[in-house]
Amino acid sequence: MSREMNADSNAGQATPAYACDGAEILDAASLAIRALPAGASVTRVFVAGVTESTQDLARAQAQGSPGLVVMAEHQTKGRGRLGRQWADISMKSLPATFVVGPGRSAAHLSLAAGLAACRTIESVLHGLTPVGIRWPNDVVERDGAGPHASGRKLSGVLIEAADGVHLVGIGINVAHTDADWPEPLRATACSLRQLGVQVSRAQVAAQLIAELDRCLASSPDDLASQWRERNVLLGRVCGFVHDGRTHTGIVRDIDPANAIVIEDTGGETIRLPALTTSLLK
């Protein structure tokens, strides 16, 4: 197993993780990898100090070889789905990118990543605050505030393909306080600390590695079943966009591998293909 601390000279976008916290993340992640069963999906870890994006750094470091996970103290140009910016405050978040080999579809990886993030957060929270998954793979608090409400976001996922491998990006908000968030995000984002748990990013990193390995080893049907148990949109009024059209209604079911089922205001049932439908936020 490689215990890498310095960015390859060809990567060009990272500085070494000399800070104590970065070393703790590296050690915890390395121990977690050692504890994985033979044939595990993660075999080596790299922790950067500052990088523009763990996705880009992982692509440069892996060079088409799976098994690497790249984490960072701070990323300056993190991104999410649909080109959205991921707000990352130094030493507060855990940005990670896992390099996964071929053989799994993007839909399978999306399910596995979202579920792994949710299970990691559930493990850390110990039931203190209920959380779930908002389509397709955002981990949010379950606020219980009615059919139109949506809980604040704790984690997001980005799946990209490059050089014959998949880059599975997962970001988890760990140590932010209310004052850390820019004003537009205070109502929509939160951290583990804000939910009452003070935990090291190293502990979160180790748990995430273990959970993602378990999820990647699970069948798509098993992942879909676990995902549906955590679906926070069931019974809520939501808007979805498919093929340029917006459909609004009560969510009656989401089968993440097949269809989103909503009931519109006229009582008509509408089925939208899951893989090509996005949630209107």
pLDDT digit string, tens, across residues 245-271: 999 999 999 999 899 999 999 999 999
Q: Domain limits of the chain?
A: 3-229, 237-280
Write the burial class of residue 1 (CB in 10 Å: 0-12 exposed, 13-18 middle, 19+ buried).
Answer: exposed
Token pair of 117 as six digits: 């993030």
Q: Mean pLDDT over residues 268-279, rounded?
A: 94
Contact 75, 51 (CB under 8 A): yes
For β-strands 44-51 and 68-75, DSSP reports them as parallel
pLDDT at 16 over 60: no
Express each pLDDT in 106-128 by its tens digit: 889 999 999 999 999 999 999 88
Residue 12 pLDDT more than 90? no
Question: What value does the mean pLDDT take over residues 191-219?
Answer: 96
Q: How many percent of the chain have pLDDT more than 90? A: 72
Q: Please state whether beta strands 68-75 and 93-100 pair in parallel, antiparallel, or not at all (unpaired).
A: antiparallel
Q: Which residue has the higher pLDDT, 226 or 9?
A: 226
Average pLDDT, rounded, for the chain: 87
Q: What is the pLDDT of residue 65?
A: 96
Q: How far apart are CA 121 and CA 115, in angstroms?
A: 10
Least confident interval from 7-16, 44-53, 81-90: 7-16
Instruction: Please state the rounded mean pLDDT for residues 52-75.
Output: 94
Q: Does domain 237-280 have CATH number 2.40.50?
A: no
Lowest mean pLDDT among 6-15, 24-33, 152-161: 6-15
- Confirm or reject CATH 3.40.50.1370 for domain 3-229, answering yes or no: no
